[in-house]
Structure 1
Amino acid sequence: MDIGAQLLQAGNLMLTGMVGVFVFLSILIFAMRLLANFAAQFKEVAPSTTRSKTTRATSSQGVPQAHIAAISAAVAAYRKNN
């Protein structure tokens, strides 16, 4: 097989692969849009529940002090060994 035939076969294979990926991604995008529209319609049909506006007290402290102490001890032990 000469180089020209191999290049032609490589180009054909590349074009086939690119078209296949394009078709697959197009179908995927179409399916995702269809599913999004279906979910939006389903959400509108569902009865809306009214919730009272109660606020939960959130902890503004973040990480517990025991976790910080354990992490600090682990870092100190790692630095001591290295």
Structure 2
Amino acid sequence: MDLGSTLQQAATLMFTGMAVVFVFLTILIVLVKLMSRIVPEELPPQIASTSTPTQNNGQIPGETIAAISAAVNKYRSRQR
């Protein structure tokens, strides 16, 4: 076998492989776009609220302030 025929076979093999990859990726892109049209968008699940929301006009409830204060005091006492 001479060098010319070997290079021709290599080029043929390379272009055949590139064509197969191109066709595969084209089919993949078409199928993904088709699925995005067919399958509906997934919505996040609705979180059921166990307590009724209260309007406090931006004020922090006293229980929350007490819990934060207790945590800060405990943290500071451990640091000494």
- Radius of gyration: which is bigger? 2
Structure 2 residue ranges without an equivalent (≥5): 51-80
Q: Aligned partners of 2:39 and 2:47: how far apart in 1? A: 26
- Which has the larger helix fraction? 1
Task: Write the mapping of 1:9-20 to structure 2, written as runs, cut at 5 A.
Answer: 9-20=9-20
Instruction: Supply the RMSD in Å over aligned alpha carbons.
Output: 2.3
Query: 2:39 is paired with a residue of what secondary structure?
Result: helix
Distance change in 2, residues 1:54/1:3 (3 Å): same
Report Cα offsets for 1:53-76 as digits up to 9, x if no partner: 527xxxxxxxxxxxxxxxxxxxxx
Moved >2 Å (runs of 4+): none
Quote how far apart the aligned CAs of 1:52 are: 6.6
Identity across matched positions, percent: 46
Matching residue of 2:49: 54
How many equivalent pairs are there? 47
Name the amino acid aligned to 1:27: I
Structure 1 residue ranges without an equivalent (≥5): 44-50, 56-82
Q: Aligned partners of 2:26 and 2:18: how far apart in 1? A: 12
Q: Aligned partners of 1:54 and 1:2: how far apart in 2? A: 79
When the two structures are superposed, what TM-score results if normalisation uses the length of structure 1?
0.50
